[in-house]
Chains A and B, each alone.
Chain A
Amino acid sequence: MTGHRYTVILVHSTSHAIRAEKALYQAEISTKLIPVPRHISSDCGVCVRVERADQKAAVETLKRIGLEVEGVHEA
């Protein structure tokens, strides 16, 4: 199936997700913190959801601020 609209970016914890959210907001990338989808991880925390089209820019932004990314998944 094609046409996934979103990408979810997994980070270590809620603190990291909020750091990511702030950095992405400053980079004018629209984000939402959502529960980690069950099919991706058994972790009970939040992850960062961005538009599929913004995936590359989002990951680069997080890399630039030194925030470790655990995984990038289509959702």
Chain B
Amino acid sequence: MIYFDNAATSWPKPPGVVEAMTHFLNKVGANPGRAAHRRAVEAGRIVYDAREAVAELFNAPDPLRVAFGSNVTESLNLALRGYLRPGDHVITSSMEHNSVMRPLRALEREGVELTVVQCSPEGSLDPADVGASVRPNTAMIILNHGSNVVGTLLPVAEVGRICRQRDLLLLVDAAQTGGAYPVDVQADLIDLLAFTGHKSLYGPMGTGGLIVGERVDVARLEPLKRGGTGSRSEHEQQPDFMPDMYESGTPNAVGLAGLAAGVRWVLERGVEEIRAHEVEIAQRLIGELQNIPGVTVYGSHAGEMQTATVSFNVAGISPSEIGLRLDEEYDIMCRVGLHCAPAAHKTLGTYPAGAVRFGLGAFSTAEDVDEAVSVVAELAREAR
């Protein structure tokens, strides 16, 4: 079996992840921050450890400004809906996932002005086009760091500089890069970083969060939900401090125990080393696919310009048929279609049919790549 759907969720997980979750359920089990007995405090320590691990990975100075949530979509909704008001202007790219596009389109109906900056057919973005779109009422720029369709990296640090010059906030969707590519909220000038736990952070599903930088006025960033936090229980008003103000309701502590273990594994192995491995196998995949007659590879065509997510099509056979045959006949798991990103596929010229996406991960090997490519070559031959 070859698992090439790491861009949707990583598999397998490092061994410590399952152990940490089993330990939490079997030996701790209590509700973090909801009581003062030792099990509850221990649960709180485990959640805090996850906060510290995430802060270390992204070089965030204060672990208490990491707010956990159920996934990156929730964090993006919190940042967009919580911060933007009718009359504000927001800028994004034409390579965004629907986790950004749908909240923005809904906000647009409520009076937020939206500019979608066109990316190249390879999915790259010219920072000058972003700078030229800034208006007096621009409040925020939101960009994905790496495309979920073709892996193309966007120039977040350059846009970060524009944001500092023009006194705007930069929100980055790091779903595809966190853990797989160096992300440094201080060096990259990122004010709000939305991350997911279950992709290249190697934690379980149901974990993610938002890192809120010092330039963000939390009094303006409204919570998505309000409720019990285990703190200030005497008050019927929501707390006004982080992380509690954005973390109402019992957290996914068992998931966060697994997330902490996943991030520690990434830190131990080193993001640079994981990145080097992924560049190598992505470059191998791109090169081999390009050699097959009838195969079109999308994106940058260069491993160092993108993540290890590669999309392609085969002449004469639809993406959905390829996906079905890879699964049923060859035991290869990938994702075909539009990947929740119609804007990105329109930019790449692959809308509405979509493409075949191979999402490689830290556990993918050169042998996996060679085997999958030989199958694609076989399918391409049949279709000619």
Does A14 reach chain B (CB closer than 8 Å)?
A: yes
A26 to chain B, nearest CB (A): 13
| B233 with A68: CB separation less than 8 A | no
Task: Confirm or deny: A52 has a beta carbon within 8 angstroms of a beta carbon on chain B.
Answer: no
Q: Which of B36, B45, B233 makes the CB contact (< 8 A) with A18?
A: B45
Question: A43: which B residues are within 8 A, CB to CB?
Answer: 231-234
CB atoms of A15 and B47 under 8 A apart: yes
B45: which A residues are within 8 A, CB to CB? 18
Interface string of A39-51 (1 = CB under 8 A from B): 0011111100000
Residues of B within 8 A of A69 (CB): none
A15, B234: Cβ atoms closer than 8 Å: no
A33 at the interface (CB under 8 A from B): yes
Residue in chain A with minimal CB distance to B231: A13
With an 8 A cutoff between CB atoms, is B373 at the interface?
no
Q: Which residue of A lies closest to B233 (CB)?
A: A44
Name the residue of chain B whose CB is nearest to the CB of A21: B45
Contact B233 A42 (CB under 8 A): yes
Q: How far is the CA of A14 from the CA of B95 in the complex (A)?
A: 40
A71 within 8 A of B: no
Q: Is the interface of B mostly helix, strand, loop or mixed?
A: loop
User: How far, in whole Å, are A72 and B206 apart by their CA atoms in the complex?
Assistant: 38
- Contact between A45 and B33 (Cβ–Cβ < 8 Å)? yes
Proximity bits, A8-20, B CB within 8 Å = 1, else 0: 0000111111110
Chain B residues near A13 (CB, 8 Å)? 33, 229-232, 239, 241, 244
The chain B residue sitting closest to A65, CB to CB, is B62
Q: B41 touching A15 by the CB < 8 A rule?
A: no
Q: Using Cβ atoms and an 8 Å threshold, which residues of chain A touch B33? A: 13-15, 45
List the B residue with the shortest CB-CB distance to A66.
B62
- Nearest A residue to B43 via CB reads A14
| C-alpha spacing A34/B36, complex, angstroms | 6
* Residues of B contacting A17 in the complex (Cβ-Cβ under 8 angstroms): 44
Does B64 interact with chain A (Cβ within 8 Å)? yes
Residue B243 at the A interface, CB < 8 A?
yes
Picked from B32, B62, B241, the residue with its CB within 8 Å of the CB of A14 is B32
Q: Is B63 an interface residue (CB 8 A)?
A: yes
A44: which B residues are within 8 A, CB to CB?
A: 35-36, 230, 233
Q: Contacting A16 at CB < 8 Å: which of B36, B41, B64?
A: B64
Interface pair A68/B241, CB less than 8 Å apart: yes
Closest CB in chain B relative to A50 CB, distance in Å: 16
With A33-B36, A45-B230, A45-B231 known to touch, is A14 a contact of B64 (CB < 8 Å)?
no
Within 8 A of A (CB), among B42-58: 44-45, 47-48, 51
- Pairwise interchain contact A42-B234, C-beta atoms closer than 8 A: yes
A12 x B36 contact (CB < 8 A): no
Distance to closest chain B CB from A15 (angstroms)? 6
Are B231 and A14 in contact, CB atoms less than 8 angstroms apart?
A: yes
Considering the complex of A and B, which 7 residue pairs feature the smallest CB-CB distances, nearest first? A35-B36, A13-B231, A14-B33, A18-B48, A14-B44, A42-B234, A46-B36
Tell me the B residues contacting A by CB distance below 8 Å.
32-33, 35-36, 40-41, 44-45, 47-48, 51, 62-64, 229-234, 239, 241, 243-244
Additional pairs, 13, CB under 8 Å, beyond known A45-B36, A45-B230: A12-B241, A13-B229, A13-B232, A13-B241, A13-B244, A14-B40, A14-B41, A15-B44, A15-B47, A19-B64, A44-B35, A46-B36, A66-B62
